[in-house]
Structure 1
Amino acid sequence: MHPLIPRLREARIIPVVRTSTAARAATAVAWLQEAGLRVFEITMTVPEAPALIRALAADPDLLVGAGTVADARMAEQCLDAGAKFIVAPWVDATLVAPVQDAGACLMLGALTPTEVRAAIAAGADVVKVFPASSVGGPAHVKALRSVFPDVVFCPTGGVDARNVPDYIAAGAAFVGMGGRLVDEALIAAGNRAAVQRAAEEALGIVRT
């Protein structure tokens, strides 16, 4: 097991930061950090994402990773910037070498048993079940878990505060939560209270 996995399990929730500007992404992280979150996935769809990862990784209280990583070259850029985990919503074996060389954690995406097996065979430390909600949600994770009891699953896509406990009960080690936490409309409007209220609700349910 990768040494970062216990910390990810403890966090339970990984905010998936996907915004149209780096400034909004940085604002989202700052507000969510104030609300008590410490682990963040910065997707490569955010403009100048590696530079943002570098800035965030300078904070020793944060564990920062990169999401939607398209290829090994992009992975290397993110790892050089300080990313501690690399996430792709598909199986890409070319990501394994740079991630392992950096000592980082690799999360590869899968939906079916065949894809889960391929992800693990490729060298994934975590299997990202994506998009989780559209293929059965917690019930789908439970079915995968019955076949792969030792695999670390992280469902993402349609996860919200209300269904996090269901995913954990189904066998997920932790979850990725995107738009339900990182609502760009609220960030653009400067509505810090609403963003932090959503984070506090999610954290409160998980801790309970």
Structure 2
Amino acid sequence: MITPDLFARHRLVPVVVLDDAASAEPLADALAAGGLPIAEVTFRTDAAAEAIARMAAHGGVTVGAGTVTTPAQVDAAVEAGARFVVSPGFSAAVVRRCREHGVFALPGATTATEIMTALAEDVTVVKFFPAGTSGGAPAVAALSAPFAQVSFVPTGGIDAESAAGYLALPSVLAVGGSWMVPRKAIAAGEFGRVTDLVAAAVAAAAR
């Protein structure tokens, strides 16, 4: 089973929207070439499940499913080969289904109440979403004071410039974002550009 160490090791989680499953394998290669063999493929398109399956079979990256909001989507994601499941908000039903499947759940939480709800389900790693409009890095730092046992993966509205502010916080395991995997670049087959953006993001995160 995937553990939080995966996120702490990579420090970045590319949030990918794929409109065509045929892009899955070249994208996996581009991510690996850029030094970031991990991807969250969002369940926002009809191609998502097949894309996850193709990336999982292709190898080279650890692939997870994002924007998962129901137990049925957990089932579909796991069947496709997702190794972790990311949700925009907190759902006990989703978390419990992930546990039944033995996959890591990363639910969303942006308030003290949501974090306490997560803790009641023994969840200690949450996705802080949408980060950019929920107070940003200062909000994460403030929440870390009463919830020292919680780690965060901020996502939403983060770009190459703002990522550093989050990564500087001890409570932040990793940052999720789409700036290094632009949807238009993937659709246009510009995988060399994706590799360059990923490599730049990896280098910046290592500073």
The whole-number CA distance in structure 2 between the counterparts of 1:102 and 1:125 is 19
- C-alpha displacement of 1:88: 0.8
The whole-number CA distance in structure 2 between the counterparts of 1:109 and 1:41 is 14
- The answer to whether residue 172 in structure 2 is matched with residue 172 in structure 1 is yes
CA contact (8 A) 1:16 1:176 kept: yes
Q: Which residue is equivalent to 1:62?
A: 61
Task: Give runs of aligned pairs for residues 1-208 of structure 1, distance below 5 A.
Answer: 4-24=3-23, 26-170=25-169, 171-178=171-178, 180-208=179-207
The whole-number CA distance in structure 2 between the counterparts of 1:51 and 1:191 is 21
The whole-number CA distance in structure 1 between the counterparts of 2:166 and 2:174 is 8
- C-alpha displacement of 1:129: 0.5
The whole-number CA distance in structure 2 between the counterparts of 1:97 and 1:131 is 23
CA contact (8 A) 1:109 1:119 kept: no
- Asked which structure has the greater RCO (Cα within 8 Å, sep 6+), the reply is 2
Task: Mark the CA change 1:39 to 1:59 in structure 2 (over 3 Å): closer, same or farther.
Answer: same
Structure 2 SS opposite 1:109: coil
Structure 2: 5+ residue stretches without partners: none
- C-alpha displacement of 1:188: 3.0
The whole-number CA distance in structure 1 between the counterparts of 2:167 and 2:143 is 13
Structure 2 SS opposite 1:129: coil
Report Cα offsets for 1:134-169 as digits up to 9, x if no partner.
122111111111121111210001222222221022
The whole-number CA distance in structure 1 between the counterparts of 2:79 and 2:26 is 23
- C-alpha displacement of 1:25: 5.0
- C-alpha displacement of 1:191: 2.9
The whole-number CA distance in structure 2 between the counterparts of 1:197 and 1:143 is 34
Structure 1 SS opposite 2:108: strand
Structure 2 SS opposite 1:197: helix
| Normalised TM-score (structure 1) | 0.90
Quick one: percent identity of the two aligned structures?
A: 33
Q: What is the letter of the counterpart of residue 72 of structure 1? A: P
Q: What is the letter of the counterpart of residue 106 of structure 1? A: A
- C-alpha displacement of 1:195: 2.1
CA contact (8 A) 1:63 1:84 kept: yes
| Normalised TM-score (structure 2) | 0.90
Structure 2 SS opposite 1:147: coil
Structure 2 SS opposite 1:75: helix
Structure 2 SS opposite 1:70: coil
Structure 1: 5+ residue stretches without partners: none
- C-alpha displacement of 1:196: 2.1
